[in-house]
Amino acid sequence: MPTMRDTGQTPSQTVGPFFGYALPYAGGPEVRAAWQPDAIRLHGVVLDGAGAPISDAIIEIWGADASGRTSTERGSFHRDQHGFTGFGRSAVDRDGRYSFTTVKPGAMRDGSAPYVLIAVFGRGVTHHLFTRAYFGDEPSANATDPLLVSVDPARRDTLVAVPDAPRSYRFDLRLQGERETVFLDYGVSR
C-alpha cells in the first residue's frame, strides 16, 4: 500500500471555487487608510480573453512602503491604520472590478522602478498568476527597470498602471487574448 511519501500531491484542476471562510476579511483591500496623506488608490477590472469582466476572481497585492522598504510588521491581515504590512486581498465585484487603498511604493533597489506585485486567482486559472503594476508617472525609473525593459516594447504598457485622478491609478488585468497582461514566471515547478 502506498504511503503519503509515495503518492505526491494531487494535480490542480483550477483555482477556486473559493470557500468563503475568512474571505473577505476586515480591511482586506485597505492596506493604507484613505485619510493618510500618502494613500493612493490602485484599481481596475479583471477581463477574460473576450474582454468580458470576470466576476469571481481574487486579487492580492504586495508592495514596499514609500521608502522602498519591505514590511517588518507582524501579521499581514492586521490593520491598525498606522503600521503598514504592504499586503492586501480582495474579491472582485460582479463587474470584475477591484480597488485597493495602499501606498505608492518606493524603489526597492537601485536601478529598479517602484511597483506593486499582484497575484490573480480565478476561474479557469490552474495556478495563480503573478504580475507587476508599475506607475505611469515614473517614466525615468520605468525606462531603466531591469524587468520592465526586458519585456517586448509592444507589451510593456500592460505592466503600467495609468494615473486617472490625483493619487489614483488604473491597472486592468487581461487574463488572455489581445492585450493580455504580461504575467511572470518565478520558476516555481508546477
Q: What DSSP string describes 94-125?
A: TTSEEEEEEEPPPPSSTT---EEEEEEE-TT-
Neighbour tally for 168: CB within 10 Å: 15
Does residue 27 come out as left (phi exceeding 0), alpha (psi in the -120 to 50 range) or beta? left
Q: Give the DSSP letter string of 130-156.
A: EEEEEETT-HHHHHH-HHHHHS-TTTG
CA distance linking residue 114 with residue 137, whole number of Å: 10
CA distance linking residue 120 with residue 182, whole number of Å: 12
Three-state DSSP class for 170? Answer: strand
Give the CATH number of domain 32-174. 2.60.130.10
pLDDT in single tens digits along all 190 residues of the chain: 555 555 554 555 455 555 565 566 677 889 888 888 999 999 999 999 999 999 999 999 999 999 999 877 665 556 666 667 889 999 999 999 999 999 999 999 999 999 999 999 987 777 889 999 999 999 999 999 999 999 999 999 999 999 999 999 999 999 999 899 999 987 665 4
CA distance linking residue 63 with residue 161, whole number of Å: 14
CA distance linking residue 149 with residue 32, whole number of Å: 30
Residue 82 confidence (pLDDT): 64
| CA dihedral sign, ordered 174, 28, 167, 184 | negative
The grid coordinates listed for 18 are 473559493
